[in-house]
Amino acid sequence: MDHKLDSQAPSAPASFLNGQRAQKEGRWAEAEAAYRETLASHPNALPALQNLAAVLLALGKWDQAEPVMRAALSLGATDPILRKQLAFSRLAAGDYEEGLPLYESRRDAAEMRGAVPRFSFPEWEGEPVGSLLLMPEQDPMNFVEASQTSMGTDFIGPDVKNKVLAHTKLLGPGESDTISFAAPRKPGVYTYICSFPGHYTIGMKGTLTVQ
């Protein structure tokens, strides 16, 4: 049990399950300790690395999260959001040479594909120009980052609550919920995500297409 660590499997270590419970309840220090215990015996457990990175980011421990993110990426983690988080860490440290190319990986996220329109003129690459056209981007990761400490409101941050069309209650393993809502009138691709810390980065997301 290394890369594929299944929380539903009987072989999943108790420390990993304890970490998931603590993370769900916002007990970040306990979650960090539990995931570190898991990695001590299963150093290549990709889900534990990804969850630990999310917990460290929630705690504001960027310096500790960076090597964990690098370890996850070295094991084959392909989530562009993980690369984007690493980009933020490098950019904050002033390392633009590595940080800027890493930040461009955000465009590989499913919800970003096609979000940046194509024009007849070239994309700016840092050269001197007379004017620039700046385009806003849909970035669900900003929503996740604004919500990761809002346990009392099902991890929907107060500053981004007005951007939510509909949401389920916070669900545990094996639980389900059904909601009904009116789709947006404006045609387009709308992103839905799990804002629970760490879940978005491991792929719990999708899109709703309105035509």
pLDDT at 154: 79
pLDDT by residue (tens digit) across 56-72? 888 888 889 999 999 99
More reliable by pLDDT, 11 or 99: 99
pLDDT by residue (tens digit) across 177-202? 888 888 888 888 788 888 877 777 66
CA distance between the termini of the chain: 44
More reliable by pLDDT, 105 or 65: 65
Percent of the chain with pLDDT over 70: 80
Which has the closest alpha carbon to 165: 191, 147, 140, 188? 191
pLDDT over threshold 60, residue 138 = no
Which has the closest alpha carbon to 157: 148, 167, 166, 165? 148
Per-residue CA distances from 8 to 3, 85, 130, 174, 184 (Å): 15, 28, 57, 10, 36
Which has the closest alpha carbon to 43: 14, 1, 9? 1
List CB contacts of 31: < 8 A, sequence separation 6 or more: 19, 20, 22, 23, 51, 55
Which has the closest alpha carbon to 115: 191, 39, 28, 40? 191
pLDDT at 71: 92
pLDDT at 193: 83
Question: DSSP string of 116-155?
Answer: S---SSPPP-S---S---------HHHHHHHHTT-GGGTT
What domains are there in the chain, each with its CATH number?
14-77 (1.25.40.10), 137-211 (no CATH)
What mean pLDDT do residues 159-165 have? Answer: 78
